[in-house]
Amino acid sequence: MGPSDDVLTSIEICAGAGGQAIGLHQAGFKHLALVEIDPYASQTLQENIASLEEWKWERDYCDVISGDVNHFVPIASGGDREPDLKKAQKYLGRPLGKGELHLLAGGVPCPPFSHAGKQLGKDDERDLFPRILELADELRPEAVMIENVRGIKDAKFEEYRTYIEARLQGGWATHPVTGIVEDFEGLGYRVCEWEVLEASDFGVPQLRPRAVLVAIRKDVLGDLKFVWPTATGIPVSVFQALKDSMKARYAPFKKMGGEIADLAKECHENWKVKARQAEEKKDFGVAPTLVGGSKKHGGADLGPSRAKTAWGLLGVSGVGVANSHEEGMRKKSWDRDLFRKEGPMLTVDQAAIIQGFPANWKFSGGKTAQYRQVGNAFPPPVAAAVGKAIADVLRAAHERDRRKAETAGALPGQVAPALADSADDLQGAHV
C-alpha cells in the first residue's frame, strides 16, 4: 500500500495510555508511531491496537515504541542507526522523509509546570519541550500540537513560552540555557497561540483545563486560518456519566437478598441523591481534576484534600481507587470499595469514563499502574476537537494546493515534493 492524499499521518510522543492518540484517531489522523516510556502504558497501546477493529490501520502501519523519546529516531539522520519507523515503511513504500508527516503531537510531561508540583519549568529534567522542538526540526511536519497543564500559561513561564514560539516561528527570545537574547530564525511555522481548553466544555464530566499549542507550517497555512474548537454544550455531570456503571456495581449485591441487599440499596440511593444534588450547583455536578500521581508516591487516590472534599460532595470517596467487581469479589473488598459511609470509591473503569475514554479501551498493569495511566491522560474528546480543527486546515490546504497544481498543469504527485523542498530550505533554522 502506498500513501494516499486522503490519509493524514501523525507521530505522537509521550503518548501515555492513548488519550490524545484516541482523540486524534477520532479526528481522522492515522498514527505512524506512538512513543511512550512507561512499559504499562506502552502495553496498553499495543494491546488495544492489536484487538480493536477500528485500529486496524495502526495494527498494520503503526510502530508502538516503548522507550525514551530522547532516543527516538524517526527518519534517517546519516548515522549508523536505522529509523525506528518499521511498519510505517510498509505504508509509505520507503522511509519517512522530511516534510512528509502531517502532524507531530505530544502531551509532554506536566510536572515542570503543574501547580501541584514545584514548577521548575525548564530547570526540571522532565521538561521535554526541547525534544519536541528537535523533532519538529527533524521531521518538519505540516502541523505541531503540544499539550500541557494550564500552569504553563502562568506569568513566571512567559519567557519560556516566548522562546518556544520563537523556535517555531522566529523572533526575539531569551535562550533558556545561555540567558542570551537571540533573534531566532524559526522553523517555518506560524504559532496559533496557546489556548486553554476546559475539558468539561467538550462533554468530559471533569474540570480539567489544558493548555494546547498549535503551530502550522507557513507554506501549508498560507491564506487559511486555524479556528480553535468551541464548547459543545452543557457539561455532562458525574451522575449522568456514572449512573449506569454505579447501578451495575451494586446490582449483584442487591440480588443476594438479606442485609447486604439492603445495604447495597441504601448506599446506591445515597450516591444518587448526592450526585443529583451536585448537578444544581455552580459546577453542574462535574468532577474535579483527576490526578495520576507519580511512581515516587504511594497508591492511587483522587488527589489532595480539596479534591477529595469535592468528590465527597458528589457522593464518592476519594481516599483510594476501588477494585474491579471481579477483583473485589475475590478479595472480598466490597466494604472498602462500595459500602463506605462517605460513598463508593471509583474503579479504574469509572475513572476512565470521567476522562472521556471509550468503553472498549482497556488498561494494562495492576490497579495503581492502570489508574496512573488514566489520571495522567489528555481527555480524548478534547484531543478530538483540536485534532479536527487541525485536520480541517490541512485538508483545506491540500485541496487548495491540488487545485493550484491542476491549474498550473502539474500532476497531483508533484505537489508533495514541493512542500518537502520548502522544509529543506529551512534546514539551518536551529539553536
Catalytic site includes residue 14: no
Burial of 298 (0-12, 13-18, 19+ CB in 10 A): exposed
CB proximity list for 407: less than 8 A, separation 6 or greater:
none
Specify the length of the chain in residues. Answer: 431
Q: Which of 62, 110, 192, 267 is catalytic?
A: 110
Closest CA to 246 of 153, 114, 337, 160: 337
User: What is the Cα–Cα distance from 13 to 65, expressed in whole angstroms?
Assistant: 9
The 3-state secondary structure of 11-61, one letter per residue: EEECCCCCHHHHHHHHCCEEEEEEEECCHHHHHHHHHHHHHCHHHHHHHHH
Map residue 80 onto helix, strand or coil. Answer: coil
Q: What is the DSSP string of 211-242?
A: EEEEEEEHHHHTT---------SSPPPHHHHH
Question: Hey, what amino acid is at 119?
Answer: Q
Q: From 421, 424, 300, select the one nearest 368 (Cα to Cα).
A: 300
Cα–Cα dist 18/86, whole Å: 20
Sign of CA dihedral 99, 412, 3, 25: positive
Residue numbers annotated as active site:
110
